[in-house]
Structure 1
Amino acid sequence: FFSISGSEFVEMFVGVGASRVRDLFKKAKENSPCIVFIDEIDAVGRQRGAGIGGGNDEREQTLNQLLTEMDGFEGNSGVIVIAATNRPDVLDTALLRPGRFDRQVTVDLPSYKGRLGILQVHARNKKLDEEVALDTIARRTPGFSGADLANLLNEAAILTARRRKDTISNLEIHDAIDRITIGLTLNPLLDSKKKWLVAYHEIGHALVSAMLKNTDTLEKVTIIPRSGGIAGFANYVLDDEMIDSEGLRSRAWLLSRITVALGGRAAEAEIYGDAEVTLGASSDITEVSKLARQMVTLYGMSDLGPVALESPNNEVFLGQSWNSRAEYSEEMAIKIDRQVREIAIHCYEEARRIIRENRHLVDKLVEVLLDEETIDGDEFRKIVDRYAELTKKELEPA
């Protein structure tokens, strides 16, 4: 078994990488049958032609030698080559053809059963409280990799030691998840105008998501600040099916997501007026612009029809989009901009309508959030359902 990293082939001296490839395969043939494992092969196997402008490229020479050794006139009997990379999209097509790397094994993020098994492995040397259920943690962590789950239990153990507890409880688990996904917890905000504004902003996100049909499930909303300038956040739980079938998300789901993202700005505008809106929604607006543009130019979900007007993931370092031109006319660019703006304004008006029609509920939720600083998703939905029942009774004729 021979193991080497792709970066070890590439040197500043011309020809060294190619000679190392020859030496490696020479040793492999002498010791056949054997396995040659190349880690991070994208360091040497990246698509040729990316060095725009010509000239000598040491990496390309090394790749050419590797291609020759793997499928030359001389048979490499008994030598099996295995490689690993996180970037299969940048590999040269000659590497991936049959006769060289015949099979590609994709290691996806673990499903619920996979996460549960990984948690059971990493929980063996941890003292967990009796109330901690690993299956509940597995359901709460869709999209987590094995390393993320190991880090989660380690962070929970560190928090437990800091709090001078003997066992890891659900509180430490939940805090560790937030710490990994959002950031470090900072000191709570003082009772000031900023705290009220953050509360209205986050309740705006949460309430809009509760009132719309095609949205993710709210996990919690909080105004406890986090590192990185996050004053508060509303967190949602994605289903495993939604993560696995990301390409099957509907137009209604995308519009709802845009509307929820604009819920914070809508709440600020309805409560404090347009002149008092803040920079807190800047990241939300960036996401809105990105999603709306993708709906128009990639997914064919606008009045321009089912056409793809842009190509995703064109990257200069692959030599694919150097001096690239727009794939549509200036007239079409104006229409795209207009469609993107119409989607954003439509969703913004919908978010403002929801906030305006439920103003009393917004104030009630803000009072609860200011008092508790964090509202659990189940508690939030109970308050909304209770308000809906009271409103329905008031509207019923006597």
Structure 2
Amino acid sequence: MKHGQRISQRLSQLVLVLGLSLTPTSVGLAQSSNSQTVSYSQFIADLKAGEVSSVELYQEQRLAKFRRKDQPEKSPPNDVFLFDRNPELVELLRQVSLKYGTHVRVVPSGSDSVVVGVISNLLLGFFLLILFLMIIRRANGAGGPGQILNFGKSRARFQMEAQTGVTFDDVAGIEEAKEELQEVVTFLKSAEKFTSIGARIPKGVLLIGPPGTGKTLLAKAIAGEAAVPFFSISGSEFVEMFVGVGASRVRDLFKKAKENAPCLVFIDEIDAVGRQRGAGIGGGNDEREQTLNQLLTEMDGFEGNTGIIVIAATNRPDVLDAALLRPGRFDRQITVDLPSYKGRLQILQVHARDKKIAAEVSLEAIARRTPGFSGAELANLLNEAAILTARRRKSAISNAEIDDAIDRVTIGMTLAPLLNSKKKWLIAYHEVGHALLMTLLKHADPLNKVTIIPRSGGVGGFAQQIFDEERVDSGLYTRAWLLDEITILLGGRAAEVEIFGDAEVTIGASSDLRAVANLAREMVTRYGMSDLGHLALETPGNEVFLGRDLMPRSEYSEAVAVQIDHQVREIVMHCYDIARKLIREHRAAIDKLVELLLEKETIDGDEFRALVRQYTHLPVKEPAWKAMATPVSFVANDAQQS
């Protein structure tokens, strides 16, 4: 690199010297500081008056130098700048020369410009060649010649003893996965403890889970705990535009791993290279399939790879090839799922170590308010709270910042409140329609708060429910709960129709209606919750181009499809009728609630339920676990949009 820098410096000096030496002398004459410049009109007047004794024309420079008859001989000539084309001047000079004897001379242009052009082109080409060679040298590092052809070398990051700064103490909320992987670390540190009784070290561990649950963090923890060489690479780094490069990189990676065994190899996002083969497109010679075939052979082929443990992570296990998932390649599949309450509390405790949090803030309360949050989302939640605290110039994070951070993460950034207009009234009735049904329906989760403060993304307002943590964690939803949830989603549209009439219905319920259609169809086709019987008529995940059939197969006849549509419509219309009936019966309560909401812009669940009790004799839904938990803030329905 020093040699290249010296070349570039010498080139720049050469360009400077050539530029100075090849400058036309005529330009120097034109810019002489001793010459006196006169105007073109004065020059013409002097010519016509016969006061000019001699004229020299420099056509390329569009310059004329002339002397007056009364001008001393030793004085410099006068300069005048000419126009690009001036045939009148040529004719005038001819007449003056004949009439007054003025000496006129046209100075021919030299060939300097041609020489300069040729040398400049040669110099530019030479400079570009040197620059290209320097770029190639820098791209290939300090290696010797031939580095540009090393496409097939593995790009895995290698560390003899990885120091990632992350240990198992920094990983929280996924204790089962930690125990499995701690066992892998023990395999590597004291393999004889297991091999003495005939146990075989697992060849591969596949980490499966939703995004943000800590799969890559677990791999960093293993690298920090295990005192063995560690290779890390992403699945996308195997695939290149050149055919055969991916397979070559796989071979090179395992060759280096065998030389440093026992060791760990971590492949992040393995679905980039491990997707199912034979999708019907690309053929068997597809570059990705060749790379996958080589990976399968290296993990468990004719030659063994004793002492190499491959750890891979993906959030798309459904698209992976079956040969990759079999025992002998990935012996263990560890699910890294969304954390439960205890897991969320542990994750919050880890991320709260370096943050200043007020004494009144309870991490237990935050953990109960955030079911369904991943570890990454919890970390982002505390970070947003810290940013809001700094913006508000507070010394520690308080409950107000936690509340605003939860709303910002789940819904969006707060915008300026709406002015008192028809749009604001429409949004208020829409959201109160949702909130009233959350309060009155027996099997629905109760209301946390309702607001008409707009949020980013076109959200004009929203109503939040207090979701049952057990139900969210277990994923078990009853038919009664699903029907009530559909009724709640239709509450906004029902309120618009009852209050303003069919002609004033807005498009604000479009997202609600999409969610209603999906829920009702799943009840019929997947959950067996309709008059069609206990049948699963559709299966999820029939995506094209993921190793499955190009044309998805219909799982029922056209007659059954008509019945499915009929059942879906029956469910939706039944829930819609209930929503309209409840809103019609409690019109007085809705009007009072809307007036209060327009005044305060946000009403919490307790105040809302207290107002509903004043206008109805029906039992009001209260949080069953209110004594032990702070309300869970989670968006239950799509808000009114502009």
Same fold (TM over 0.5): yes
90-99 or 31-40, larger mean C-alpha shift:
31-40
Q: Which runs of 5+ in 2 are unaligned?
A: 1-229, 621-642
Conserved? CA contact 1:289–1:340, under 8 Å? yes
Partner of 1:277: 505
What residue number does 2:416 align with? 187
Q: How does 1:285-304 map to 2 (within 5 A)?
A: 285-304=513-532
CA contact (8 A) 2:542 2:552 kept: no
SS at match of 1:37: strand
AA aligned opposite 1:366: V
With 288-297 and 160-169 compared, the bigger mean Cα shift is at 160-169
Cross-structure match for 1:395: none
Q: Aligned match of 2:333 in 101, 104, 121?
A: 104
Q: Does 1:2 align with 2:228?
A: no
Q: 1:326 aligned to 540, 543, 554, which one?
A: 554
Aligned counterparts of 2:336 and 2:497: Cα–Cα separation in 1: 45
Unpaired runs of 5+ residues, structure 1, are 393-398
Residues 126/94 of structure 1: CA separation in 2 closer, same or farther (3 Å cut): same
The structure, 1 or 2, with the larger RCO (C-alpha pairs under 8 Å, 6+ apart) is 1
Deviations 1:257-300 (A, max 9, x none): 10000000011111111111110101001111111111111111
Contact 1:52 1:319 in 2 (8 A): no
- Does the 8 A contact of 2:435 with 2:447 survive in 1? yes
Paired amino acid for 1:305:
G
Alignment counterpart, residue 458 of structure 2, candidates 229, 245, 248: 229
Q: 1:88 to 1:289 in 2, by over 3 A?
A: same
User: Shift of residue 171 of structure 1?
Assistant: 1.1
Larger helix fraction of residues: 1
1:258 paired to 2:486: yes
CA–CA separation in structure 2 for the residues paired with 1:184 and 1:193: 23
Structure 1 pair 329/139, CA: closer, same or farther in 2 (3 Å)? same
Partner of 2:473: 244
Out of 365, 376, 386, the position equivalent to 2:604 is: 376
Give, in whole Å, the separation in 2 of the partners of 1:33 and 1:135: 42
Alignment-derived partner of residue 305 in structure 1 = 533
Structure 1 residues 297 and 391: CA distance shift in structure 2, 3 A: closer
Counterpart residue number, 1:152: 381
Q: Give the CA deviation at 1:164.
A: 2.2
For structure 1, which segment, 4-13 or 43-52, has the greater mean C-alpha deviation from structure 2 after superposition?
43-52
Q: 1:49 aligns with which of 251, 269, 278?
A: 278
- Aligned identity (percent) is 76
Amino acid aligned to 1:347:
C
Q: Count residues in correspondence.
A: 391
Aligned amino acid, residue 391 of structure 2: R
* CA distance in structure 2 between the partners assigned to 1:249 and 1:213 by the alignment: 14
Aligned residue in 2 for 1:350? 578
Aligned to 2:446: 217
Matched, 1:116 2:362: no
In the alignment, which residue of structure 2 is the partner of 1:316?
A: 544
Is the CA contact 1:201–1:264 (under 8 Å) kept in the aligned structure 2? yes
| Residue 27 in structure 1 maps to residue 256 in structure 2 | yes
Equivalence for 1:84: 313
Task: Please say which of residues 383-392 and 133-142 is displaced more in the overlay.
Answer: 383-392
Which letter maps to 2:437?
V
Q: Could you tell me how far apart the structure 2 residues matched to 1:37 and 1:88 are?
A: 16
Corresponding residue number in structure 1 for 2:393: 164
Mapped contact 2:319–2:547 kept (Cα < 8 A): no
The alpha-carbon deviation at position 22 of structure 1 amounts to: 0.8
Indicate conservation of the 8 Å contact 2:440/2:618, yes or no.
no
Q: Does 1:132 align with 2:361?
A: yes
8 Å contact from structure 2 (residues 415, 455) kept in 1 = yes
Letter in 1 for 2:428: A
Range moving further from structure 2, 44-53 or 129-138: 44-53
C-alpha displacement of 1:107: 0.8
**In 1, Cα distance between equivalents of 2:453 and 2:549:** 43
Among 324, 333, 351, the alignment partner of 1:95 is 324
**Distance in 2 separating the partners of 1:278 and 1:321:** 41
- TM (normalized to structure 2)? 0.59
The ranges of structure 1 where at least 4 consecutive aligned residues each deviate by more than 6 angstroms after the TM superposition are: none
How far the C-alpha of 1:139 sits from its partner, in A, is 0.8
RMSD: 1.7
Query: Which moves more between the two structures, 45-54 or 111-120?
Result: 45-54
- The offset of 1:130, in angstroms, is 2.4
In 1, Cα distance between equivalents of 2:619 and 2:574: 26
Select 2:291's aligned residue among 62, 76, 100. 62
User: Displacement of 1:172 after TM fit?
Assistant: 1.1
Task: Give distance in 1, aligned partners of 2:481 and 2:444.
Answer: 6
Q: Distance in 1 between matches of 2:584 and 2:365?
A: 37
Residue in structure 1 matched with residue 219 of structure 2 by the alignment: none
SS across alignment from 1:306: coil
Q: Distance in 2 between matches of 1:324 and 1:270?
A: 42
The answer as to whether partners of 2:235 and 2:269 remain within 8 angstroms in 1 is yes
**Counterpart of 1:396?**
none
Give 1:341 deviation, angstroms. 0.9
Distance 1:373 1:80, change over 3 A: same
How far, CA to CA, are the matches of 2:618 and 2:277 in structure 1?
67
Q: Which has the larger radius of gyration?
A: 2
Report the alpha carbon displacement of residue 389 of structure 1 after superposing the two structures with TM.
5.3
- The answer on whether the counterparts of 2:269 and 2:314 sit within 8 Å (CA) in structure 1 is yes
Distance apart, 1:124 and its partner CA: 2.2
Question: For the structure 1 residues 119 and 233, does the alpha-carbon distance in structure 2 shift closer, same or farther, using more than 3 Å as the test?
Answer: same
Range with greater deviation from structure 2 (32-41 or 123-132): 123-132
Deviation at 1:51?
5.1
CA separation in 1, counterparts of 2:298 and 2:609? 63
Please give the TM-score of this superposition, normalised by the length of structure 1: 0.95
CA distance in 2, matches of 1:390, 1:292: 27
CA distance in 1, matches of 2:280, 2:394: 57
Deviations for 1:199-230, whole angstroms, at most 9, x for unmatched residues? Answer: 11000001011111111232111000011111
Task: Provide the C-alpha distance between the structure 2 equivalents of 1:89 and 1:238, rounded to a whole number of angstroms.
Answer: 29
Rounded to whole Å, the distance in 1 between the matches of 2:618 and 2:594 is: 18
SS at match of 2:590: helix
* TM superposition shift of 1:125: 2.2
Deviations 1:182-212 (A, max 9, x none): 0111110111111111011000001011111
